[in-house]
Every structure is written in structure tokens, then in C-alpha cells.
Structure 1
Amino acid sequence: MESLLPRLSHTLVHAKSLEELTRPLLDMLQQVTKLDSTYLTRIDLPHSQQHVLYTCNRGRLEMPEGLVVPWQDTLCRRALEDRQPYTADVVSSWGDSEAARALGLHTYVSAPVRLPQGQLYGTLCAASGVEQAMPDGAMATLELFAGLIGQQVERELLLQELQQRNLELANYALTDALTGLPNRHALMEELPRMWARAERDGRSVLLAFIDLDGFKQINDQHGHEAGDQLLQTVARQLLNALRDSDFAARIGGDEFVMVGTGPEISQSATQVLYELEERLALATQCDVAVAEDLLHYPGASVGVVAVHPAQTSTEQALALADAAMYENKTRRRTRSGIH
């Protein structure tokens, strides 16, 4: 073991992943045990399977990486249950294991790999196709390496959990809590990407500004729960009305914005804008449950524009769409008296 200390120290300092740690340890373990194959397994108890993750094969017996065997048939399960980590005669000890028989295992030794809280992660094993005694200190080395691997697994699991939480926080920061749509911040991050994509493809950008007319009155007359239901319903219907490449966001209050790529710059966008305005206006019409009745919402004011991404900034485009929406709102007020 003393001759391995420099290499072990180097491995512990420089290994950045489970694989970078395990492969040198398997090689060192093979030198200590003198057995044909050393390998790390992952135990999947919910699916009752054992997976061979990494191996080091130096003799006649070769343990294949990626091998999956039923947990109930493994020597590792038997060794754990019988508290017998080593045998030089697998047939006499556990002759009922089909996997061991198929692989030609004769000598076998293993140590459980556990996380610091005691959960079983897998096993660190060594095996040979012939009868071999365990050298002095080999079992202690095996257990030491199993502990080191368990610590690395724990670090990686904690890192994965931290990354997942950071991702969730980032998504939360970019999502409108009520509707589940992207929020204003997410929209402002998406607009430059949409501009770049449209300019690269030689297309215009379609931008729509949507304002829910009469929203304040609904809140005042029917309560905020009715207003929330209206926002949620409109958000769902807007999503259903969009193309996969389109992007919709709730930017605050009763306002939504939709952005997507339009026709080629050389083509007229008049018909596309008309159809988009009609589609979005229709998507904002809905019925909302109020007490024991249904409140019919006749739809929002929608302003749509098509802009040249190389000639119009995102801020200018938003202002143009906002102005188009107010023009639409004025026409609607004139026709129906909606405020």
C-alpha cells in the first residue's frame, strides 16, 4: 500500500468526477488484490438491478462495463446479506448465482459503497476466474477505496441538487407565478435572440401587444379571484394559439406580449399581421366562472407590427406594438364602449 500512496494522493487531489477517481482506484486495487478484475457497481433497488459502471481487467476474467444483472442473482447481494465479503470458492459459497456462473467467477471480494448517511449506493468488487487468497491489507484497502468513492458520489449528488435548485430559482425568476408564462425579464432576454435569429434568416419580426380591456372593472365587480382566473385562462389560450417558435410573456398586470419570426423581409406582412391579430384576439375571448354564473369576456385589444430586425431596435418595436394596441383599443371603445 505504501508504494501506492503517491499515486493515491495525486488521484484524490486531481480527480474532478466519479469516473476520474474510480478508474485509478480500480487499477490500484487490482495491484493490491492481484485479482483479474476490479469493478464498481451501482445498485438500483427500485428496479432490482445492478449496473457495472467501471472496470479494470488485467487477467483472463473480464468484467464488461455496462453489464446489468438482476440484483437478486448477484454475488454482491449474497455477500451483504451473509456478511461474507470474500470467498475463494464462489461455487461452494453461492453456487445458485447464474450471473457468477456465466462469468466464470471463482474468487470474489467486495465492499459496500455507502453514502455518508448510510444509504447503499453500490459495491466495489474484485474477482478472478481461479482460486486466489487475499493478500494482507487488501481488504482494508478495498474498504478504504469504497469509502472514498462514497464520498465522491455524495459530493456529486450534492452538486447536482445545487444545480437543480439554481435552475429552479432561475426559472422562477423568469416565470410569472400566476399564469406560468415567462415574465417581463424573460421577454427582455428572449428578444435579442429572436432578433438575431430573424436577421440571420432574412425575416421580419412579428410583435404583438395584448391588453385586457375592462380588467380593472372585473376585479372591482367580481373580485380578484375572477381576475386571476381570466388571466390564467387567457394565458392558456394564447399558448394554444401560438406556433412552436413563438414566444409569449405576461409583462405585468393585464398586459401580454407575443413575439415570433415573420415572413421574409422582401415579402409583404399585411396579411400575416391581419391573421395574427385575429387569432390573438380570438384567443383572448373566454368564459370565466363567477360565483354560480359565467362571465363572458369579449376579448382584448391587440396591436401587431412587423419590423426589420436590422433597422428597428427591440425597444422601438415594443413601442410600435404598444401604439398599435392603443389604436385598436380606441376603435373598440368607439364601437362598444369598452374601457
Structure 2
Amino acid sequence: MPQADAKTTALLDCLAGTPAPSEKLEALIYPLLDLLADITGLSSTYFTLIDEERQVQTVVYARNIGNLIIPEGLSVPWCDTLCRRAILEGRRYSQDVATHWGDSMAARELGLCTYLSEPVYLLDSTLYGTLCAASDEQVTLSPEVIHYMSLFTQLISRYLESERLLQLVTTENRILAHHANTDPLTGIANRRALVQGLEARLQHAALNGQHLYVAFIDLDGFKAINDRHGHDAGDRFLIELAQQLTRHCRKDDLIARYGGDEFVVVRESHTDTSEQAFRQYLEELTAGQFHICDDIIDYSGASVGTITAKPEQHDAAMLLSLCDAAMYEQKKARRHDIT
């Protein structure tokens, strides 16, 4: 009768008491299938997934060392599998399948004689799958060996739960990071993301011997829009302006709402443009007709101040300050032109 030796027993005890690491499920299952074959002496060990909604059971991982072959990828109707009948009847082990489940066509076709199955449940009692071992020969298993089968399924269940919690935490962190770096009104980067992104681009430009163009945009006359059309229209105008920038700037441009009616666009230098051309393009981009709340706003454009940033001379805070000052110079020039 196959029994686990002292070394295997120690290893199993260690596995059963240790949380599973965050890695692919197969990295856990395959060693367990090898151990299961060692301690049971059964020729096929395999792990299945159960889709109760579709009523399908699928062999995902398998080890075969004898004449009995349980292939990976095999899918069978769940309603008539030995695993389901074993769960319903409370009989997880049989050394004479023909006696207990002689009417099973699948068992007859495969030539199953000895069969061992243990369900894998999640913490919410959802049936996830089964861990199985089978042979075309009659093999007697001790209660100790069957107990280890139960430990294996507990280990798998703990692994699955740890993975589920890890994915949940990862998703929540991703959502929190998105909210922390996104302007809630316009959906583009906020000031925090702007500073971080600008610092990263400065470092990248320094490594590649490039420079950056940084534009500070202030929406002249925005208060008048609010006063005449209402704050809802003002908010809609900010959203439309952000979408205009996003649609027509380059994909690798960093576009952010600095605050209020102020936006910043950061662009890596290219030979096909210049700082002046960059500024003029943004001025033209912010001007035109905007259809807001069933009304049309004829907007003459924003004041745009630009700086050519040299990574060895500037940091993010200095650049934004210089850009802000350049924008105010443009604002004064525009007022002078109007008067």
C-alpha cells in the first residue's frame, strides 16, 4: 500500500501550513499533482475547473505516468461526472469504481478502477473545481493519504483566495491612483499628476539630450462665461476645452488641468516644430465656437505662455512658475492689442 515517507510527510505539512505565494496557479498545482501521485500510487492525477452555469467540467492540469491517460483540456458535461456524483453521495474515494458507479459511461470508457476526488471550495462556498487521482488498477489508500488530499485542496483554496484578495487590492489601488491623479471635472491629469509627469519627462529628456516645451494656458474671459451662461455652462466649457486639447494635441503630450481655468501642456521637442509654433497652435486650438448647453459661445482664445525647458537647468516647480509668468506677459500683450 503506497504511503508517504518521512521526507514527503514533512514537505506536505510545510505546504499545508504556508500561505501560497503570488504566482501562476500552475506553479502550485503541478508540484501537488506530482506529490499526489507519489503518496497515492495512482497513475493519473489532475485538477479540474467547474463551470456550474455552463454545466461543464474541464481538466486544466494533469500528470499521467501509466496506461490511464486523463488529457489536459478535456471537457465533459458536469451533470454526469464522477466528481459530481462523489460530492452528492459523500463518497470521495472508491477502489472499485465498477461496483459503486458502474453506470458511468465515462468511467467505463476510461477504464477507471480506483478513484479519489476532493472538491475545491472558495471561502464563499463557491465550488471552484476538483483535485482528482485515478488508476486503471485497484489501489487501496489509507485514511492518512486521503487526509493529505484534503490538505491539498485547502492549500489550493487558500491560494485562490489570496490571489483574489491580491487582485482586489491591486484593482482598488489602481482606482485610487487614478482618482488621485485625475481632475474630477475634465478627466485629464490634475496638478499632482502634472508635477510627477513633468519631472519624469525632464529626466527622460536629460538622458536623451532633448528639451521640452511647456505651455501654460489661461482662459481669458472665463468669468464672463460663468456670469452670462451660468456655472454649469462654465463647467461644460472647461470639459470641452480639455477634450479639444486631448483630441488635437499629440498622443504623448502631457495635458493637465492646473486649477480653475488654467491648463498646462508639455511636449517633447521635435524638429518639426518650435516653441513659437507650439504656442500659436495652442492659441488657435482654444479659439472658436463652442456649443455649450444649447448655446453657442464664440471664444477668442486663451492666453498661452511657453517655455523651452532644459533639464539641466529647470525642475518642475521652476518651469511652471516661469510658464505662468510667460502666460501673464502674453495676457498683457493681448489686452494691449485689444485696447
> Quick one: distance in 1 between partners of 2:160 and 2:173?
20
Conservation of the 8 A alpha-carbon contact between 1:35 and 1:132: no
Encode CA deviations 1:59-79: one digit per residue, 9 max, x unaligned: 3445455x2535558836653
- For structure 2, which runs of at least 5 residues remain unmatched after alignment? none
The match for 1:69 is 75
Shift of 1:210: 0.9
Q: Percent identity?
A: 40
Structure 1: segments with no counterpart, 5+ residues: none
Match of 2:290 among 263, 287, 292: 287
Partner residue of 1:31 out of 25, 38, 41? 38
Partners of 1:51 and 1:75 lie apart in 2 by 11
Contact 2:199/2:316, CA 8 A, preserved across alignment:
yes
**Within 5 Å, which residues of 2 pair with 1:43-82?**
43-45=50-52, 50-63=57-70, 67=73, 69=75, 72=78, 75=81, 78-79=84-85
Q: Counterpart in 2 of 1:208?
A: 215
1:20: Cα distance to partner? 5.4
2:169 maps to: 162
Q: Measure, in 1, the Cα distance between the counterparts of 2:57 and 2:274.
A: 57
Task: Name the residue aligned to 1:9.
Answer: 13
State whether structure 2 residue 303 is matched by structure 1 residue 297. no
Q: What is the aligned partner in structure 2 of residue 311 from structure 1?
A: 313
Match of 1:110 in 2: 117
Cα distance in 1, alignment partners of residues 131 and 182 from structure 2: 44
Q: Answer whether contact 1:37 1:126 (CA < 8 A) is retained.
A: yes
The 1-side partners of 2:112 and 2:244 are apart by 62
Aligned alpha-carbon RMSD (Å)? 3.1
Q: State the alpha-carbon separation in 2 of the partners of residues 80 and 229 from structure 1.
A: 62
What residue in structure 2 maps to residue 219 of structure 1?
A: 226
Q: What's the TM-score once normalised by structure 1's chain length?
A: 0.82
Q: Tell me the alpha carbon deviations over residues 215-238 of structure 1, each in whole angstroms, 9 at most, x when there is no partner.
A: 222223332211110111111111
- After the TM superposition, which residues 197-276 of structure 1 pair with which residues of structure 2 at under 5 Å, given as runs? 197-263=204-270, 271-276=273-278
CA distance in 2, matches of 1:289, 1:301: 21
Partner of 1:144: 151
Tell me the distance in 2 between the aligned counterparts of 1:260 and 1:15: 45
1:178 aligned counterpart, secondary structure: coil
* Distance across 2 between alignment mates of 1:335 and 1:80: 88
Cα contact 1:33–1:135 (8 A) shared by 2: yes
Change (3 A) 1:176 1:108: same
Where 1:132 maps in the other structure, the secondary structure is: coil
